[in-house]
Amino acid sequence: MLSGSLLGSCIGTRQLVLISKHHTKFPIVLAPRHPASRAHAPHFQLSDGQGHATIASATRIDGTQQLPKELYIRLPEQCQVPPATLPFLHQILERYAERTPGLRTVVEGVMRPSYEAGTAGELGHDHFAFRTFGVPGLGIASLERILVPLGYRRVEDPDAPLTFPGKKLVATWFTPIDPRVKAVLPRVFVSEIQVEKLSPEAQGIISRATSWAAAGDEAVMVQVMTALLTGTAPWPRPSLEQYELLLKESEYAAWVLAHGYSLNHTALALHRLPRVGLSLDMNDFVMHLHGAGMAMNAEGGLVKVSPDGLLLQCSVVADRRPFDFSCGQRRDIAAAYVEFVKRLRLPRFANLEDSELREEHLREGFEVGNADRIFESTTLAAKGAAGGR
């Protein structure tokens, strides 16, 4: 059951509604099912017939704080963001925090004492990341139908498709439409495994779990939305045998089978840290994480650097959490983790003072080589490895 919100639906109108404890309704009208009909700047259909919503501050679903206070998102005044967006993102974050003890260690053991994060009021989220099965009715398309009405647009880059052949993955990402919130709302990175490239045995396990979603209709989207908000999978729990069979072939597929649409990780934006920002030394930062007892993902080096040198990333090894399988067995399995991103200024903005820099002056997007190694944060946890610790 959702602690902060309930989910209602009006199937005939493709409308999903977040209902707060105080009975405030935040409707979301699903985007069209077919990508060809996707609008680049959708009109947000609210229950009162209005268009874009103008809001001045963050809206909390309830009065309790499940997250360290720095991780709540605060919107600038007079931005055009649908009223459901912030409650939606906070609900996902709170469920993620409940099952990611490493997140609190990062904030309380590193960000506050070493980088004065607590005095700044907030820590920026560079992006959220979700994993999915690439099957009819689910996959990237299912997240797109929810994100577009929440004020996001899909970013297409034909010159640099996000493909990961070794892992049988493809990915894309979404960015807020309103430029005034690009430094506040997270990008959303969504990947899917190409199920058709897996073994017949693996395909069979995934098909039995997801065949109900093939229609891709509004009833399916209600299940997807519920899974997002509760941090769960929209299919029955697998058996240990099913999980281990997938794990041998694809750790990614096994992770999705167990965790479904739960947030895989948030990436904190180090370039937005007060008084440090672009001058932050990533190697020093990694040493602070070591000092707090965090196991690091050392695949490709502790700090992953894009070929242009402008995108720096690192991540901790995912937390291992108890999971109760349908067969009655319990095992510790890889869960979620925390990533850290530093975006540097683009060369054409070299003459700007640091105080003048905004998000649009920094390196945008993602890098396949970096992302491929960041994926290993759960693989290392599944193997019980300690990474760079």
Mean per-residue pLDDT over the chain, rounded: 83
How far is residue 64 from each of residues 61, 69, 94, 291, 346, measured CA to CA in Å?
9, 11, 10, 30, 40
Calpha distance 242→204 (Å, rounded): 10
Q: How many CB atoms lie within 10 A of CB 148?
A: 24
Domains, the chain, with CATH or none: 85-383 (3.10.180.50)
Question: Which residues fall within 8 angstroms of residue 251, CB to CB, at 6 or more apart?
Answer: 334, 378, 379, 382
Q: pLDDT grade, residue 384 (50/70/90)?
A: confident
Structure tokens at 162: 């996000």
pLDDT of res. 385: 55
pLDDT of res. 27: 65
pLDDT of res. 18: 57
pLDDT surpassing 90 at residue 142: yes
Q: pLDDT grade, residue 57 (50/70/90)?
A: very low
Query: Is pLDDT larger for residue 30 or for residue 49?
Result: 30
Query: What residue type is assigned to position 133 of the chain?
Result: F
What does the pLDDT look like over 79-128, one tens digit per residue?
A: 889 999 999 999 999 999 999 999 999 999 998 888 876 544 568 999 99
Calpha distance 374→311 (Å, rounded): 13
Exposure string over 25-59, b if 16+ CB within 10 A, otherwise e: ebbbbbbebeeeebeeebebbbeeeeebbebeeee
Name beta bridge partners: 332.
Answer: 322
What does the pLDDT look like over 224-254, one tens digit per residue?
A: 999 999 999 999 999 999 999 999 999 999 9
Number of H helices, E strands in the chain: 12, 16
Query: Is pLDDT larger for residue 230 or for residue 22?
Result: 230
The sign one gets for the Cα dihedral 12, 14, 19, 23 is: negative
Pairing of strands 187-193, 169-176: antiparallel
With H, G, I as helix, E, B as strand and everything else as coil, classify residue 345: strand
pLDDT of res. 195: 98
Q: Are 383 and 293 in contact (CB under 8 A)?
A: no
Question: Which residues fall within 8 angstroms of residue 177, CB to CB, at 6 or more apart?
Answer: 41, 80, 151, 152, 153
With H, G, I as helix, E, B as strand and everything else as coil, classify residue 191: strand
Percent helix, strand, coil in the chain (nearest 5)? Answer: 40, 20, 40
- Mean pLDDT on 312-338: 97
pTM to 2 decimal places: 0.86
Cα-Cα-Cα-Cα torsion 253, 257, 260, 265, nearest 10 degrees, comes to: -50
Structure tokens at 298: 């050392």
Q: Are 67 and 94 in contact (CB under 8 A)?
A: yes
What does the pLDDT look like over 296-324, one tens digit per residue?
A: 999 999 999 999 999 999 999 999 999 99
Q: Tokens 């937390």 appear where? A: 319
pLDDT of res. 181: 93
Q: Are 236 and 363 in contact (CB under 8 A)?
A: no
pLDDT surpassing 70 at residue 332: yes
